[in-house]
């Protein structure tokens, strides 16, 4: 990992719960129509190669071509490390498209990125939880709200964060997630879980919007931790 990414992450690794008291600003109004979900990307990785987002998986997002894409309706997934991506996606499997289907198409040793917009219905403070096995990070409005990195069981060590919103509207959201393949030596494998909650409730379908279903003029913050290498200019807020 390069120095810029290491320094950017180091500023947050000691936080347990991120809280932003200043209000985040929306980039647009909530449409009348419900959203179809977040754009999602999937990367398969070599066996037993992943231990964290910060030391490995973020580089995968920035540097490697995706194996598959899909639309995530509500970021509510759970299963075994040996489940296929198709089984893991449940009702979202209909949106799955492979660019390069891996030989070992299982949820152990993989990286995912979700991005788009979340509808916040009113101004004020909102709590978020990203329960994951293994690690996850969540940015909202360009700010890191949850840093739940690490190798271990859900919900993780630091799954919660809070943000304050200036008004109702659409806010950019980005979620990074990795899952390693844990095995106990007797053939039993661990879980692959990511579940996103808003004010203690599972994120609802219809509250997430992909970039493709909204006006291109809506801003999306640059993120040096996940923007592909070679990206010249990211959309401004």
Instruction: Report the distance separating Cα 18 and Cα 6, nearest Å.
Output: 19
* 63 inside domain: yes
Q: For residue 42, what are the domain limits?
A: 17-213
What CATH number is attached to the domain comprising 53? 2.60.120.1560
* 52 inside domain: yes
Report the range of poorest mean pLDDT among 2-11, 42-51, 132-141, 176-185: 2-11
Report the range of poorest mean pLDDT among 40-44, 178-182, 233-237: 233-237
* 67 inside domain: yes
Number of domains the chain contains: 1
Token duo for residue 202:
């599972």
* 219 inside domain: no
Centre a 10 Å sphere on the Cβ of residue 33 and count the other Cβ atoms it contains: 9
pLDDT tens string 118-148:
999 999 999 999 999 889 999 999 999 999 9
For residues 6-18, give the mean pLDDT. Answer: 45
pTM of the model: 0.88
Q: Residue 7: what pLDDT?
A: 38
Q: Find all residues with CB under 8 Å of 209, minimum gap 6, and list them.
A: 31, 35, 36, 37, 38, 116, 117, 118, 119, 170
* 3 inside domain: no
* 8 inside domain: no
For residues 60-67, give the mean pLDDT. Answer: 94
């Amino acid at each position: 990992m390069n120095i810029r990414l290491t320094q950017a992450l180091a500023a947050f690794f000691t936080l347990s719960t991120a809280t932003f008291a200043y209000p985040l600003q929306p980039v647009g109004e909530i449409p009348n129509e419900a959203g179809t979900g977040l754009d999602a990307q999937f990367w398969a990785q070599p066996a037993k190669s992943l231990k964290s987002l910060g030391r490995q998986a973020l580089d995968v997002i920035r540097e490697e071509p995706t194996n598959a894409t899909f639309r995530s309706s509500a970021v509510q997934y759970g299963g075994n490390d040996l489940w296929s991506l198709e089984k893991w996606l449940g009702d979202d499997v209909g949106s799955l498209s492979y660019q390069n289907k891996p030989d070992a198409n299982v949820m152990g040793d993989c990286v995912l990125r979700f991005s788009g917009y979340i509808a916040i219905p009113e101004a004020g403070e909102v709590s978020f939880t990203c329960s994951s096995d293994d690690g996850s990070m969540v940015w909202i409005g360009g700010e890191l709200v949850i840093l739940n990195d690490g190798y271990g069981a859900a919900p993780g060590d630091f799954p919660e964060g809070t943000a304050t919103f200036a008004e109702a509207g659409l806010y950019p959201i980005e979620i990074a997630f990795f899952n390693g393949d844990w095995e106990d030596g007797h053939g039993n494998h661990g879980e692959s879980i990511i579940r996103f909650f808003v004010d203690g409730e599972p994120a609802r379908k219809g509250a997430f919007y992909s970039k493709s279903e909204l006006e291109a003029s809506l801003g999306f913050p640059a993120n040096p931790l996940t923007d592909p290498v070679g990206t010249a200019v990211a959309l401004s807020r």
